[in-house]
Structure 1
Amino acid sequence: MITENRTLRAPASSAPVDRLGCALDRLALSQQLDVGELRFHRKHAQHGAFGKVETPAEDRGFLIGVSLKGGHQRRILRGPDAATHEFAEHAMYIRDFATDYRAELAGSFDFVLTEVPRAWLERLGADVSRHRVQGIAARTGERDDVLGHLVRALLPAFDAPGAHDKLFVEQMGVAIGLHLVSRYGGTSLRSAPRRAELSRWQEARAKELLLGGASTAVSIEAIAAECKLSPSYFIRAFRGSTGQTPYQWQLAQRIARAQHLLTRSAYSLVEVASVCGFTDQTHFTRVFSKAVGVAPGAWRKQNT
């Protein structure tokens, strides 16, 4: 499920603290996306001196934070010791929720954070490596441009969760997980099989479900379960069989159907958007224009 945004601007006298230890009255923006087992957050603060963040040890897996801009600093406290770290653009950190965390934050910040359950990460690692992945190594302040670009792709989904396809967000979550396993999990994706493909019945069933997604919600996890595969392996196998990810294939089918309706029916743009599985006409126009190079109304005039 993709949850709605929460934008917090009004300070409170005794503000509550979120699940990541941030005082809510000091956040200019707090947004959350729940997709499958992953939980994504966007946290933005404009305070020069944000204050302390504390979370007790819990069995929640790992937290990965990626800075979207520079100028942030945090002093991490470990018993009597402390270490200060500077965060530039795309600087990241990985911390294990299993240990107590205390830090003093200074400078405004804008982070995308991902909560990754330990069991989910281990299953993902088992799909792509012969070696067991038991966790990911802690990092603080290290620049990772690949991870930075991956989390930036999620920003439109934070701003308009209802207008963004769940399949896309799920696939980005798997891509982030694969990158974490490969770079910080002590293994290599090169040990995975070079090519994965679906059987004929799996491909047919997957496409049937993806095409049915125009009227009903569909998820990678549900389709993979129907094919008796893990989500990460299903994505690789679908791409091996079709040359596209499930999201790319579904989007191409929707665009093709929209083009057919635009030239061979009297449906309005609103009706075409609805029939083809787009959230609304605005969503349809944006996606169609990006894929085809011209807005649907103009394309209809050129082709009828």
Structure 2
Amino acid sequence: MLNQTEIATPTAARRKDSLGCLSNQLHKDLEREAGDFTFYRKCRRQDNTSEVATPASDRGVLIGVSLSAGHRRRIISGSRSAMHEFDKDSVYIRNFEDDYRADLHGAFDFVLVEFSRAFIANTGYERSGTNIAGFSARPGSKDPIFGHLAQVLALALDRESEASPLFIEQLGVAIGTHLVDRYGSAPAQSIKPGRRLLSSLHEARAKDMLLAKTEGNVSLEEIANACNLSRSYFIRAFRETTHRTPHQWLLEQRIERARHLLRSSDSSLSEIAIACGFADQSHFTRTFTQLVGTPPGSWRRRAGN
């Protein structure tokens, strides 16, 4: 499950957050936890300057993606410092093993994901057959893939009631996989894994667990553990076996159940929405229209009910 902390107004009780930001200067401060991931949204409207400082720790790795242009930050390392400009889709990577100091200049709007060391180690091994030695990315460099994923994640965090924990967790896996593939440094002799499929037993078990919780709040970690697989291996194997991500597959099953209820019952659209695991009728209508091509009310009339 995702835990939520949202701070929309200044507070004197919490001066600095877990990333070293001054919380009472933030217009938006969102934090969600999901197993190996912690998701953040940090937004400041004021055009002022502040300092961020965090000591070295064993927390893992952080990727930050800028949702807007105009931010600058001076990153300080020992006696050296460098100013970096952040445009929309610009990124930076922080390894929590190192002390971090930076002066933040101007307004900013960032989506950030913190990954545990276990996730980075497991993903590196599964992607390249070796451990990740570190990450190489110049602060402020642009990455359109991260930019696109960050926009989707920002919307999901802002509208959590319509985004299942499963979907947000999959976004974390997608961002972490791209981080490892694009920026992770590994030995040249790393071994590329071949195609991986779920066994029929694991495929059936995974589908049963996805369907068992109507609200969709089963986590990928729970399913992967039940199959004795790591989360990233499970997601890749599920996709290669079914040609769908777990979230896509579950949405299709919900829509198929909704079609059955639309044809065979007199239940209202709002009742069908809840029965099929959607947040409300509006969420159901949007999803149904996107996947089927027509609103559920129109589809029901054409089906003869």
TM-score (norm 1): 0.93
Contact 1:125 1:133 in 2 (8 A): yes
The CA distance in 1 between the partners of 2:167 and 2:37, in whole Å, is 14
Runs of 4+ in structure 1 over 6 Å off: none
Per-residue deviation at 1:15? 5.8
Distance 2:70 2:115 in 1: 26
Find the counterpart in structure 1 of residue 293 from structure 2.
293
Q: Paired residue for 1:72? A: 71
How many residues are matched?
302
Task: Measure the CA separation in 1 of the matches of 2:167 and 2:53.
Answer: 33
Contact 1:51 1:106 in 2 (8 A): yes
RMSD across aligned positions (CA): 1.9
Shift of 1:215: 4.9
Give the Å deviation of 1:216. 6.3
AA of the residue aligned to 1:300 = R
Instruction: Give the whole-Å Cα distance in 2 for the aligned partners of 1:248 and 1:216.
Output: 12
CA contact (8 A) 1:196 1:237 kept: yes
* Cross-structure match for 2:107: 108
Structure 1 residues 224-239: aligned runs within 5 Å = 224-239=224-239
**Structure 2: which 5+ residue stretches go unaligned?**
none
Equivalent residue runs for 1:108-147 within 5 Å: 108-137=107-136, 139-147=138-146
Q: Which residue matches 1:204?
A: 204
- Quick one: which amino acid aligns to residue 300 of structure 2? R
Post-superposition Cα deviations, 1:24-43, rounded to whole Å, max 9, x if no partner, equal 11111111121221001011
Cα distance change, pair 262–112 in 1 and its aligned pair in 2 (3 A): same
Deviation per CA, 1:248-272: give whole Å up to 9, x if none: 1111110011011011111111221
1:23-172 superposed matches below 5 A: 23-137=22-136, 139-172=138-171
1:209-262 deviation line (CA, Å, top 9, x unaligned): 111121563111111111111111111111121111111111111001101101
The verdict on how the C-alpha distance between 1:85 and 1:119 changes in structure 2, with shifts beyond 3 A counting, is same
Q: What secondary structure is seen at the aligned counterpart in 2 of 1:154?
A: helix
Judging changes above 3 Å, is the alpha-carbon distance between structure 1 residues 221 and 12 closer, same or farther for their aligned structure 2 residues?
closer
Structure 1 286/7 Cα, relative in aligned 2: closer, same or farther at 3 Å?
farther
In 2: Cα distance, 1:108 partner to 1:68 partner:
11
Match of 2:265 in 1: 265
Q: Which amino acid aligns with 1:52?
A: E
Once residues 14 and 268 of structure 1 are traced to their aligned partners in structure 2, the CA distance between those partners, rounded to angstroms, is: 47
How far residue 46 of structure 1 moved from its aligned partner, in angstroms, is 0.9
Q: CA deviation at 1:173?
A: 1.1
Compute the displacement of 1:302 (Å).
2.3
Provide the rounded CA distance (Å) in 1 between the counterparts of 2:252 and 2:291: 8
Report the 3-state secondary structure (helix = DSSP H, G, I; strand = E; otherwise coil) of the residue aligned with 1:140: coil
8 A contact 1:2–1:161 mirrored in 2: no
Measure the CA separation in 2 of the matches of 1:13 and 1:128.
44
Q: Is the 8 A contact 2:164 2:216 kept in 1?
A: no
Aligned to 1:220: 220
Instruction: Provide closer, same or farther for how the CA distance between residues 130 and 13 of structure 1 changes in structure 2, counting only shifts above 3 A.
Output: closer
Write the deviation string for residues 19-72 of structure 1: whole angstroms up to 9, x where unpaired.
111111111111112122100101111111131111122111111111111100
CA contact (8 A) 1:8 1:24 kept: no
Residue type of the partner of 1:171?
A: Q
Q: Which moved more, 1:13-22 or 1:48-57?
A: 13-22
Q: 1:32 to 1:14 in 2, by over 3 A?
A: closer
Q: 1:279 to 1:103 in 2, by over 3 A?
A: same
Contact 2:215–2:278, Cα closer than 8 Å, also in 1: no
TM-score normalised by structure 2 residue count: 0.93
Deviations 1:47-99 (A, max 9, x none): 11131111122111111111111100001122332211101111100111122
The answer to whether the 8 A contact 1:90-1:144 is kept is yes
Whole-angstrom CA distance in 2 between matches of 1:216 and 1:75: 42
Counterpart CA distance in 2 for 1:87 and 1:217 is 35
The one-letter code of the counterpart of 2:210 is L
- CA shift, 1:138, in A, is 5.2
